[in-house]
Amino acid sequence: MLRPKALSIFLISTIVLVCSIILAGCAPTQKDAAQAPAEKLKTINASYVSRPINVPSVVAQEKKMFENEFAKDSIEFKWHEITAPSNQLEALAAKSLDFSNSLNYVSTILAKANGNDIKIVSSYSRFPKGISLVIKPDGSIKTVADLKGKKIALQKGTMLHEMLIRALSEVNLTTQDLELVDLDSSAGAAALAAGQVQATILPEPLLSKAIASGKVQKLRSAEGLIPGLTVIAVRSEFAKTQPEIVKRYLQVHKASNDWSQANLEEALAMTAKQNQMDIQGVKALYPEFTFEMSLNQVKNDLLKSADFLQKEGMIRATVDINKLVDELVDSTYLPTN
């Protein structure tokens, strides 16, 4: 017969053993934890950029194509009108955006090089003919070489910046030979008209509007200098945890592109209304844009650009640009049909 003290110890030990067995049975194993489903996605956030004439995005928004697709799974789809590339990239880094549409390729390269963990999952458009270096038609500047010592407005860290550097290199000049004023395209056009700068670089539709005013004239097109490429980017973490959502997103984008081509008159009318442009102006500009999703040529374009930007000191010399571009471009999410 157990003594009272020994009996107490025996009972306590038994209770501890039983509790341990119960808790062990309730605790999830490593296998169970690995198989636990991720938290259900409730919202998808994407940037909305209707300009220059981003027909696929306009059509998708007008017809609520993304909203309808993801509503099937009770997922809310939200557009966010963020046009500046720097603001889109900041929103991706802050996780307030999941997808960025019509993001210019130079901003994307520089962001990745500076640690913004993003992926390019599709091309969006190309429009090198729709970008031009412009000046006042007063005869003071006749060639790119005449820009030496002048003030030029453009948004730094964008493809417009790369275009200027390449145009200057053709006449043995660099950005050190002139004064750069960091302004977005609208402000740059206004500064040129007011005589505050002597040149700027404008994309469509600002370019056509400025030319039509008679206050500026073209000096050099972007054709032959840069690809004029914009892309669809996604947060790498989002792509890793929601690969099927990324694929569905691109499938919807393809559907909006296909619908636009099959119903071009209606698509261009939607774009004219959204951008408050004359329909004839939209029709005149549309041939300058190529809306395609293929990434076949994109890696080569990005490598050329990254190499150029690194030589210009805009990417650190220690960055492996081949690895950078390999990690940046991912074609595995593209529609296969």
Q: What pLDDT score does 4 carry? A: 47
Instruction: Please list the residues that pair with 43 across neighbouring strands.
Output: 76
CATH 2.40.50.140 fits 43-125+228-328, yes or no: no
What are the backbone dihedrals phi and psi of residue 40, each rounded to the nearest 5 degrees, phi first?
Answer: -60, 130
In sequence order, which ranges of the chain are alpha helices (DSSP H)?
4-26, 30-35, 55-62, 65-71, 85-93, 105-113, 159-169, 185-193, 206-213, 236-241, 243-262, 264-274, 279-285, 298-311, 321-328
Give residue 39's pLDDT.
73
The answer to whether 252 touches 122, Cβ cutoff 8 Å, is no
Q: Which pLDDT tens digits describe the chain residue by residue (337 residues)?
A: 445 444 444 444 444 443 444 444 444 444 444 444 557 899 999 999 998 899 999 999 999 999 999 999 999 999 999 988 999 999 999 999 999 999 999 999 999 999 999 999 999 999 999 999 999 999 899 999 999 999 999 999 899 999 999 999 999 999 999 999 999 999 999 999 999 999 999 999 899 889 988 989 999 999 999 999 999 999 999 999 999 999 999 999 999 999 999 999 999 999 999 999 999 999 999 999 999 999 999 999 999 999 999 998 999 999 999 999 999 999 999 998 7
- Assign domain 129-221 to its CATH architecture: 3-Layer(aba) Sandwich (3.40)
Instruction: Decide: 57 and 101 in contact? Cβ < 8 Å.
Output: yes
Q: Quote the pTM value.
A: 0.83
What was the pLDDT predicted at 337? 78
In this structure, the number of other CB atoms found within 10 A of the CB of residue 201 comes to: 26
pLDDT of residue 31: 43
CATH 3.40.190.10 in the chain is located at: 43-125+228-328, 129-221
pLDDT at 38: 57
Strand ranges (DSSP E) for 108-147? 118-126, 131-135
Task: Determine the Cα–Cα distance for residues 227 and 6; give it in Å rounded to an integer.
Answer: 86
